[in-house]
Amino acid sequence: MSGKWGWRALRISAGVGGALLIGTLAFNVYQAGELQDIVPRGIEGCRRLPGVVGGEDLHLDAAAAPHRATTGGGGVYWIAADDRRAAAAGRPGVAAIYRLDAGAAVAEDVTPRLGFNFHPHGLGYVRLAAPSPGPDGAAVTASLAVINHRKGGVFDSSDDSVEIFSVLDDATLRHRRSVQDPLLRPMNDVALVDEDRFYASLDHRFKGGPLRVAEDLLRLPLSGVAYFDGRVARQVADGIRYANGVAASADGATLYLTGTVDRAVFAYDRDLATGDLKLRQRLDIGTGIDNLTVDADGALWTGAHPKLLTFLRHAADAAVPSPSQVVRIHNGLAGFDVVLADDGRLFSGAAAAAEARLADGSRRLLVGPVFAEHLLDCHRPTPGR
């Protein structure tokens, strides 16, 4: 009898375990958005803009003077780009920081000469309250930072760094410092609050191996945010499923963070003196939101992956299209609008977005991808016309 019941218990346990595994996988498919249909919307007036490969993160400085006097105002876009497919395959590829005047048609590579491997990921930017003295009589007007995966791939964080550049008044960059800390791995995005202090999203607790796979498969809320105070780093937020885009409000009092697997954005009250964070609000978006930019009205713009598992397939195979969305989140997390959606045939893997207001009253929405060999460039008429 004991043998009979032992085998029966084993079969029951195996059945329960199998059911739990199937249930977990089915839940993950549902939570990843794989069961929804993505209907294209808002893509009228949009075209592919070649010249930048893997422009995964971008920022619009709406107050910056255009580099070219003939352009139509609207500020300057800064773009962090890396040919990630080439890097993963061990092939040469362009990795650079680009500048694009909001009224111009061509982005310019403005990466200064560097003495180390450069594979930029997330980008942070802060405009200084007043220009400060720079090299050769130039004035420093802003600070720009990028996450650098020096080993070349986002899954190898063993030599990650944050590279900080001074933005000069002639719209060129000068590398100022590299920041490395054992806590700052694996990093995804960065938000500067002044020339040297920043927040970095840590998208996983585990750096690799089976534990990282389990963290993803079980959707464990183990990622978070680190704060670098100019000297050392410490963790200031956790409990997030794939912490990703991070951005500070204009007054520095609020830090915003996206949880891509949470499909939500979080707002934290920021202690201006210590850098400590206190969770104030969560807004569920219902899509895999990625990087964040804050516009002049305090609204947040983000690129999003509505089908996360399809995006993973796209990451492995460029021939697999991945649907894209652009979401505008209202100031104060008071709601959101899906501004643009595409099934992946026009644009795959949207990760970042920012909208410029040009001198003639029209608007230009620029969208950056994780992998694609072009940006998405959308020109919109003046509202009301």
List, for residues 132-172, the tens digit of each pLDDT value: 888 878 899 999 999 999 987 666 778 899 999 999 998 89
Domain range for 197 is 32-380
Q: What mean pLDDT, rounded, does the chain reach?
A: 89
**pLDDT exceeds 70 at position 22:** no
pLDDT of residue 206: 85
Angle at 149 between CA 143 and CA 307, to 5 degrees: 100
**pLDDT exceeds 90 at position 385:** no
Q: Is 13 helix (H, G, I), strand (E, B) or coil?
A: helix
86 by Cβ neighbours in 10 Å (0-12 / 13-18 / 19+) ranks as middle
Which range has the worst mean pLDDT, 23-27, 149-153, 226-230, 295-299?
A: 23-27
Residue 82 lies in a domain: yes
In whole angstroms, give the CA distance from residue 21 to residue 192: 41
pLDDT in tens, 227-272: 999 999 999 999 999 999 999 999 999 999 999 999 999 999 999 9
Residue 83 lies in a domain: yes
**pLDDT exceeds 60 at position 131:** yes
Residue 220 lies in a domain: yes
Largest separation between any pair of C-alpha atoms in the chain: 91
Over residues 108-126, the mean pLDDT reads 96
Which range has the worst mean pLDDT, 25-39, 165-179, 271-285, 318-332?
A: 25-39
Cis preceding-peptide flag for 186 (omega within 30 of 0) = yes
Highest mean pLDDT among 7-21, 29-43, 207-221, 282-296: 282-296
Cα dihedral 250, 254, 255, 259 sign? negative
Residue 184 lies in a domain: yes
Q: For residue 314, how many other CB atoms are within 10 A of its CB?
A: 23
Over residues 9-30, the mean pLDDT reads 46
CA distance to 60, 113, 209, per residue, from 313 (Å)? 30, 35, 20
In whole angstroms, give the CA distance from residue 99 to residue 150: 22
CATH number (domain holding residue 116): 2.120.10.30
In whole angstroms, give the CA distance from residue 111 to residue 107: 12
Residue 7 lies in a domain: no
**pLDDT exceeds 50 at position 78:** yes
Residue 24 lies in a domain: no
Residue 6 lies in a domain: no
> How many domains does the chain divide into?
1
State both tokens at 91. Answer: 């092939």
Question: Could you give the percent of the chain with pLDDT greater than 90?
Answer: 74
pLDDT in tens, 335-373: 999 999 999 999 999 999 999 999 889 999 999 999 999
